[in-house]
Amino acid sequence: MNPTALIADDEPLLAEDLKRRIEALWPALQIQAVCHDGAAALEQLQHGKPDIAFLDIRMPGLTGLEVAARLDFPCHVVFVTAYDPHAVEAFERAAVDYVLKPADAARLAKTVERLKRALAVPSDAQRNRLTAAIAEALGKVSPGNTAKPAWLKWIRASVGDSVRLVPVGDVRYFQAADKYTAVMTAAGELLIRTPIKELAEQLDPETFWQVHRGTIVNAQYVTAARHDGSGRVLLSLRDRPETVAASRAYAHLFRQM
């Protein structure tokens, strides 16, 4: 009987891309379902009981870690993550596999080979490793751990039927826009679904300064700051024609400019 799998990622284009890559590397593997949130993934997993689950760590509803922790049947889990260094460290120590987004072809091929070998491992041994990895990853960084966090390096934005990768260092500023966040670069504007609040937690605060409830600027590109009569500060950015307003609460950041 051919092995079965589920893929869960809250970004549909990335989920489909991962599905295509896995199917090309492992034609015998049957993908039972592709889900885009934790609750749907858990429901499908409990219903279909696949041999393998590719779980995005950051998903709405339930995270991939929480989904894996609730599984009550043998399942080889591969965590998919873009920016969780502590979780990755835990997975490495417990010999649980993971894939960094965007998936590297060579790394994904290695994961497939590991999974083929892992299917022959007694399920209790695999489950013990998975439980240990989840417990450590959910524990977050201990109070005594002062290691510098790994900040977000890439922005993944959907453009039609493709996903465009933008180095975060090329972004001039982020601006909240209805249900999306506008990513402003020298070349133009892209839209992503990640809220400003989430982005603020993933960006290096030494470089990316929040200047308004809905705006984060890359300080490296601020060329001038002009105070207006209302207490706000209007910022000029390299390679952008418009000015960006910093609210009164953040005006002190530009007091010396």
How many other C-beta atoms lie within 10 A of the C-beta of residue 67?
Answer: 28
Share of the chain above pLDDT 90, in %: 44
H helix or E strand, kind and range, residue 196: helix 196-202
Q: Are 50 and 4 in contact (CB under 8 A)?
A: yes
Instruction: Report the alpha-carbon distance of residue 99 to residue 233 in Å, rounded.
Output: 42
Asked if omega into 102 is within 30° of 0 (cis), the reply is: yes
160 vs 235: which has the higher pLDDT:
235
pLDDT in tens, 59-73: 888 888 889 889 888
Distance CA(26)–CA(112), nearest Å, equals 7
- Domains in the chain, start-ordered, CATH in brackets? 4-138 (3.40.50.2300), 154-254 (2.40.50.1020)
Least confident of 66-70, 84-88, 167-171, 211-215: 84-88
How does residue 228 score in pLDDT terms, banded at 50, 70 and 90?
confident
Reported as a single tens digit per residue, the pLDDT across 89-106 is 656 655 468 888 777 788
Q: In this structure, are strands 222-227 and 98-100 parallel, antiparallel, or unpaired?
A: unpaired
**Are 98 and 57 spatial neighbours (Cβ–Cβ below 8 Å)?**
no
